A and B are shown apart, each in its own frame.
Chain A
Amino acid sequence: MMNKVVSNAHAAIEGIENGMTLMLGGFGLCGIPENSITALVEAGISDLTCISNNAGVDDFGLGLLLQKRQIKKMISSYVGENDEFERQMLSGELEVDLIPQGSLAARCQAGGAGIPAFFTPAGYGTEVAMGKEVRYFNGKPHILEDALTADFAIVKAWKGDRFGNLVFKGTARNFNPVMAMAGKITIAEVEELVEPGELDPNFIHTPGIFIQRIFQGTNYEKRIEKRTVRQRN
């Protein structure tokens, strides 16, 4: 019987080696694969290229890998919440490719969907367009963007089953479904691992075909980056 379940994060990241390219889901600290990041830190794997919308904060998320200098290059759209990141970037220790958020999502999706490149208006006339082919469609300039793939993609879901079918919760979905498609091997860590049949097929967000390994994570901190509330009258 098909069984993609591995016992824990350490088993899940087996095969990730120095110098590999990883995709990591999440937006800010929301929907990040906490368990797998901790396992990568503990395994001391280095020279990583990480494709992730953000770079965590100084002491959480991808910030933990940055602290240990395990990341050689980041491909992100917004990195403003991480002082250590900014320091490493400005000093040249860390290579950084900043790309528009929509292009990042589309490039991952294209990578997973077998589309090698596409034209988008985002970034035309800016630094992002440097060296890229420009073509006009309907009188409007567009730039050519390549698809992105990764040696491993690591995503975080709310629920998942043994076949790798995934359901996300709230805005923790974000980049996870598109990155799940673009990994040569995709690891899913879930809050709740269920049996096949327990998830309604009509409401599965990521089909299990994109997932090679799945495990139930533990001790999710789910740190809130900017707790913002209103007062009761």
Chain B
Amino acid sequence: MLDKTGIAKRIAQELQDGWYVNLGIGIPTLIANYVPDGLNVVFQSENGILGMGPFPFEGEEDADLINAGKQTITAMPGAVIFDSATSFAMIRGQHIQLTVLGAMEVADNGDIANWKIPGKMVKGMGGAMDLVASSDNIIVAMMHTNRKGQSKLLRQCSLPLTGVKCVKRIVTNLAVMDVTPNGFKLIELAPNVSVEEVKNATEGRLVIEGEIPEMKL
């Protein structure tokens, strides 16, 4: 089974040289720490920067340089700053090659819910709805089950949707799955996780074909 760092490491393997990538808040943010050597990947933060660098050293924080999670950041050489409309032109115009975000629920048709629990939690969608509506390549990074142990991979989302039929791949602490017309197709298992465990933790339709390889981390 993977921890959050493991999920980030596995998703980092999806990165390709020259890609512009938007990472959401939470597990996705960790991916920036595991870019494979030799790859040039440019991270976009939707509050208005391309070329986001690592967190600053203590004492070097700049209140005027933050990411979309409101954390202090640095800018890489060649970074560029722009306004919010330009930022979402990059997103809506499909100039970003990969979007990774967290989710509360994903349905086996690719629907995603991650912005609201009616009557309880009302934080807002931020940029997530724009990102999922426009990106061709969306990976969800999340734990397979919620804190109550209930599956987050469902036949249908129960929470208000963020986007419809948009998620392509899901990486959880248990497995890598792709969204297909027949449901979640099991692609890889996390170390020391059985197909049976994934089945038990998945409420949506799960497609299992042949031997399922273990992730290489």
**A residues in contact (CB < 8 Å) with B:** 27-31, 53, 76-81, 86, 89-90, 96, 98, 100-106, 108-109, 120-128, 158, 168-178, 205, 222-232
**Stretch of B13-21, B64-72, B167-175, B189-197 at the chain-chain interface:** B64-72
Say whether, besides A79-B123, A102-B130, A222-B64, A171 and B48 are in contact (CB < 8 Å): yes
Distance between Cα atoms of A104 and B55 in the complex (Å): 28
Distance between Cα atoms of A12 and B184 in the complex (Å): 57
Say whether, besides A169-B64, A171-B65, A227-B72, A125 and B123 are in contact (CB < 8 Å): no
Nearest CB of A to B62, in Å: 6
Nearest CB of B to A217, in Å: 14
Pick the contact of B163: A120, A125, A177 (CB < 8 A): A125
Tell whether, in the assembled complex, residue B84 and residue A100 are in contact, meaning their CB atoms are under 8 Å apart.
no
Tell whether, in the assembled complex, residue B83 and residue A230 are in contact, meaning their CB atoms are under 8 Å apart.
no
Tell whether, in the assembled complex, residue A31 and residue B127 are in contact, meaning their CB atoms are under 8 Å apart.
no
Nearest CB of A to B172, in Å: 23
Say whether, besides A105-B87, A124-B133, A27 and B47 are in contact (CB < 8 Å): yes
24 pairs, A vs B, C-beta closer than 8 Å: A27-B47, A27-B84, A29-B63, A77-B125, A90-B119, A90-B122, A101-B126, A101-B127, A102-B46, A121-B92, A121-B134, A122-B130, A127-B116, A127-B160, A170-B81, A171-B48, A171-B66, A173-B83, A174-B47, A175-B83, A226-B71, A227-B71, A228-B71, A232-B58
* Leading 4 A-B pairs by shortest Cβ distance: A102-B88, A80-B123, A102-B130, A170-B64
Residue B162 lies at the interface, judged by CB distance under 8 Å to chain A: yes
Per-residue A-contact encoding for B100-137, CB less than 8 Å = 1, 0 else: 00000000000100001001001111111110011000
Distance between Cα atoms of A104 and B124 in the complex (Å): 12
Distance between Cα atoms of A98 and B130 in the complex (Å): 13
Q: Report chain A residues within 8 Å CB of B124.
A: 76-80, 98
Q: Report chain A residues within 8 Å CB of B42.
A: none
Tell whether, in the assembled complex, residue B61 and residue A173 are in contact, meaning their CB atoms are under 8 Å apart.
no
Q: Report chain A residues within 8 Å CB of B81.
A: 168, 170-171, 173
Nearest CB of A to B5, in Å: 15
Distance between Cα atoms of A129 and B84 in the complex (Å): 21
Tell whether, in the assembled complex, residue B161 and residue A126 are in contact, meaning their CB atoms are under 8 Å apart.
yes
Per-residue A-contact encoding for B27-68, CB less than 8 Å = 1, 0 else: 000000000000000000111110000111110111111111
Distance between Cα atoms of A192 and B95 in the complex (Å): 35
Tell whether, in the assembled complex, residue A175 and residue B55 are in contact, meaning their CB atoms are under 8 Å apart.
no
Tell whether, in the assembled complex, residue B92 and residue A122 are in contact, meaning their CB atoms are under 8 Å apart.
yes
Q: Report chain B residues within 8 Å CB of A100.
A: 125-130, 133
Say whether, besides A105-B85, A223-B63, A226-B72, A86 and B160 are in contact (CB < 8 Å): no
Tell whether, in the assembled complex, residue A229 and residue B84 are in contact, meaning their CB atoms are under 8 Å apart.
no
Tell whether, in the assembled complex, residue B72 and residue A229 are in contact, meaning their CB atoms are under 8 Å apart.
yes
Pick the contact of B57: A124, A125, A174, A229 (CB < 8 A): A229
Say whether, besides A171-B66, A223-B63, A120 and B125 are in contact (CB < 8 Å): no
Residue of B nearest to A170 (CB): B64
Tell whether, in the assembled complex, residue B72 and residue A222 are in contact, meaning their CB atoms are under 8 Å apart.
no
Tell whether, in the assembled complex, residue B64 and residue A171 are in contact, meaning their CB atoms are under 8 Å apart.
yes
Residue of A nearest to B58 (CB): A229
Q: Report chain B residues within 8 Å CB of A171.
A: 45, 47-49, 64-67, 81
Tell whether, in the assembled complex, residue B84 and residue A105 are in contact, meaning their CB atoms are under 8 Å apart.
yes
* B68, B73, B126: most-surrounded residue (chain A CB, <10 A): B126
Tell whether, in the assembled complex, residue A105 and residue B83 are in contact, meaning their CB atoms are under 8 Å apart.
yes
Say whether, besides A101-B46, A126-B162, A126-B163, A78 and B72 are in contact (CB < 8 Å): no
Distance between Cα atoms of A125 and B107 in the complex (Å): 14
Pick the contact of A122: B48, B54, B129 (CB < 8 A): B129
Distance between Cα atoms of A231 and B55 in the complex (Å): 9
Q: Report chain B residues within 8 Å CB of A122.
A: 92, 129-130, 133-134
Nearest CB of B to A112, in Å: 10
Q: Report chain B residues within 8 Å CB of A27.
A: 47-48, 66, 68, 70, 84
